[in-house]
Amino acid sequence: MGKSSKAASRSKTTKDEASTPVERKAEDSPPASRKVVDVATEHLPPIFLVFTTMACSGFLFVYAFRDVFATGRNIGGVHDEAYLTFTNSIAFFNNEKGWKSQQGGLSSISQVTTDANNMGGLFVRKVGGAACLAVQLQKLMPLLFHPANAQWKRGHFRPLFATSIVANLVLVAFYGIAIREELAAVGADGLPTMFVGVLLFETIVMLGYLATSRYTKGPAVALQQGKTPTSVVSRIVARTNFLVSGMICVIAGRDLFSPGTILGFIPRDDIYLEWTGAFLHSPPEGSPEAETQGTERDFFVGEKYLSQFLALNMLILCLYKFVAAFVVRYRNDGGGCIQARMIWKAQAVGSALVLYLFRLFSPAASTASLDFRWHLMMLAYETLILGLYGFL
């Protein structure tokens, strides 16, 4: 009897010594406290990753917001002033009448296009800002508004952050390599250099957490009829993205890699390029514009940068949509639905903003013989599908 009591006492002592303070605290804590700990560690993303994304993407979000709702306004001091001078955006900010002035807001969008108001140039700036805003919103929305049933330990955030890493690296290459020489030549590389630093820091943090975090699949669930673990989440969304975003990729790819090139299969594409100022910075070789304006193209390098900036951000938005539509799979535990909806919600909001700006510029474009009705119908259809499958 005495030997068995001593053995039990030694076993209990060994067990207490082997357990860590955290494990003993969890064992001693009430069930409600353990439940809160489980939610914090399994459901929510790491707090440092959340703060880093909010700070870095929030910083870029502010400048994108400025480009949309206060075009030409200096909010960043000397560096921002040089950047706005390089992009010729200061002319769109009018503050002569104080609070009654348009101040580069949405009220500055005129119903008529003239040589003086340059509505095509304002269109490039505002839609480019909206596309950049949507790119940053894609990273912020799932963190600010945690999706239902989304769990970090289940890998539900993995496609989002993996795509964000690729998008950040593309933006770093654009700011730090592709356009750096032109920016540095006029002393306007201060603000883009800060953008590069912010994007690199955010990318390193995201990559670190994705590489070191362990993910486990949840329990298998009953699949919908006709679905397998390797099926795409929604064929309707996939087809919609293929048609609408595919066409956007064609146009944006042209504006990024071959600006000024006329695509013959797109109606009135030459008018669109002329309206947005592409013939000023990139006149087609052998065209009348090249003969009359070819020697002045270097004066419009800022306009070319803005056109490529708009195209790049539109391509990044398409990348997010293609990942959700074609890369994310249904999975045995149904986690693919959560992963895809996380992207569709933010894309629906960003697409709605771009659609709204297209609608505001539609009267001005029509006075330049440019019809935006097809653009509006295609964008509206994709926005509707993304919203329905993302929020419902």
In whole angstroms, give the CA distance from residue 219 to residue 55: 35
Question: For position 14, what pLDDT does the model report?
Answer: 47
Q: Which of 136-145, 159-168, 291-300 has the lowest mean pLDDT?
A: 291-300
Q: What backbone phi and psi angles, to 5 degrees, belong to 381?
A: -65, -45
Place of tokens 């071959």: 258
Give me the percent of the chain exceeding a pLDDT of 90. 76
Residue 288: its pLDDT value, please? Answer: 79
- For 216, counting Cβ atoms within 10 Å of its Cβ (0-12 exposed, 13-18 middle, 19+ buried), the class is exposed
Work out the percent of the chain whose per-residue pLDDT is above 70. Answer: 89
Distance, CA of 327 to CA of 343 (rounded, Å): 12
Least confident residue range of 37-51, 82-96, 273-287, 309-323: 37-51
Mean pLDDT of 40-55: 90
Length of the chain: 392
- Residues 191-234 have pLDDT tens digits of 999 999 999 999 999 999 999 998 888 888 888 888 999 999 99
C-alpha closest to that of 381 among 243, 208, 284: 243
240 pLDDT tier (thresholds 50, 70, 90): very high
Q: What is the mean pLDDT of residues 43-68?
A: 96
Which whole number is the average pLDDT over 12-25?
Answer: 47
Residue 25: its pLDDT value, please? 47
Average pLDDT over residues 287-304: 83
* Distance between CA atoms of residues 283 and 299, nearest Å: 13
CA distance 347 to 304: 26
pLDDT at residue number 231: 95
C-alpha angle 247/178/127, rounded to 5°?
45
Q: Between these two residues, 137 and 39, which has the higher pLDDT value? A: 137
What local confidence, expressed as pLDDT, does residue 28 receive?
Answer: 55
Each residue of 298-354: pLDDT tens digit? 889 999 999 999 999 999 999 999 999 999 999 999 999 999 999 999 999 999 999
Radius of gyration of the CA atoms of the chain, in A? 26
What DSSP line would sit under 112-150, residue for residue?
A: S--TTT-HHHHHHHHHHHHHHHHHHHHHHHHHHSPPTT-
Residue type, 183: L
Alpha carbons 54 and 136: distance in angstroms, whole number: 9
Q: What pLDDT does 196 receive?
A: 98
Res. 15 pLDDT band, cuts 50 70 90: very low
Q: Is 74 helix (H, G, I), strand (E, B) or coil?
A: coil
Cα 182 to Cα 189: distance, rounded to the nearest angstrom: 8
Residue of 245, 283, 244, 281 lying closest to 262 (CA atoms)? 283
Mean pLDDT of all residues in 26-45: 63
Highest mean pLDDT among 113-122, 258-267, 295-304, 355-364: 355-364
pLDDT-derived band at 148, boundaries 50, 70, 90: confident
Whole-prediction pTM: 0.89
Residue-level pLDDT at 26? 46
The yes-or-no verdict on residue 2 having pLDDT over 90 is: no
User: What pLDDT score was predicted for residue 337?
Assistant: 95
CA–CA gap between residue 220 and residue 318 (Å, rounded): 31
Average pLDDT over residues 18-29: 48
* pLDDT of 82 over the 80 cut: yes
What mean pLDDT value characterizes the chain? 90
